[in-house]
Amino acid sequence: MSLINSLLVSTLERLPKPLVKRFAMRYIAGETSDDAVRVVAHLNANKVMATLDLLGENVLTKEESWTAVKACEDILDGIHRNSLDAYLSIKPTQFGMKIDEEFCFANLAHLLETARGYQSFVRMDMEDSTTTRSTLNVYERLRSRGFENVGVVIQAYLRRSEEDIRCLLATKANVRLCKGAYVEPETLVYKGREEIRLNFLKLLRVLLDAGCYVAIATHDETLVTGATQFIQKNHLEKTAYEFQMLHGVKVSLREKIVADGHRLRVYVPFGKHWYAYSMRRFKENPQLAWTVLRALFSGD
């Protein structure tokens, strides 16, 4: 992160939380499940699907993980009761990945049994590179256990991602493909904008050519254009893929994708841990942080 961006984030961290919250809530549904249901119902009414994400990660006790499992079961029930076109995304470290991989696996298997009862789907998010291998291990074990209602995430900026994808092709994995945003050393990730874009499109082609369902997660108009050109050239059915975007980000691009006839899903985070999530997003996306600061000083 550059010195200017570091100073920018440092400035945001010094602001009172209520002030930050006013603007963070443009990108977060709220603190409660009722807030999330309201936002998702509005998205569905506008022909947009959703992913619900209960904020929280890197838990350090089994009790916290069990609490997260119960909360996610309640979310699945809420999706069903409210007839929402949505599924659940979870972070493995919220389910105990950094406590014990076997413990995390057991928690996720339990949750997927619950989701299967609702005929619902769960996406395992991908976190920083220290958890990549263990997350893929757990995903592969869940699939071998017979769970078809689980998907995984691949980050295009990781140098290892093509090898990881090749291992997923045989099972026709359901993959969310994103650029990746955690701060990682250059030995592990591509740093240049263009090389990340090129790798993203390369991985996308590999997945789609193999018949995998791909969630194309990006706000980059260059990537949206590249993806749609490949889709059109290969006459892919609308059921073979979807686009994904974050709640509150580039709404005009989102509307264009939907108007062009593509399926689109919005990632809707909510929960009491909104502040930590917001600060991480600001660090990952300085442009978003600049937008918040401009709004603060302009009174928007």
With CA atoms as reference, report the closest residue to 173 among 131, 215, 133, 202: 215
Active site residue 176: yes
Task: Say if CB 240 and CB 252 are below 8 A apart.
Answer: no
Measured CA to CA, the distance from residue 290 to residue 124 in angstroms comes to 30
Which candidate in 176, 197, 254, 265 is catalytic?
Answer: 176
Active site residue 145: no
3-state secondary structure 42-90: HHHHCCCEEEEEECCCCCCCHHHHHHHHHHHHHHHHHHHHCCCCEEEEE
**Strand blocks (E) in the chain:** 49-54, 86-90, 122-124, 150-155, 175-178, 214-217, 241-246, 264-270
Which candidate in 53, 123, 125, 265 is catalytic?
Answer: 125
Measured CA to CA, the distance from residue 176 to residue 193 in angstroms comes to 20
Say whether 231 sits in a helix, a strand or coil: helix
Q: What is the DSSP letter of 241?
A: E
Catalytic residues: 125, 176
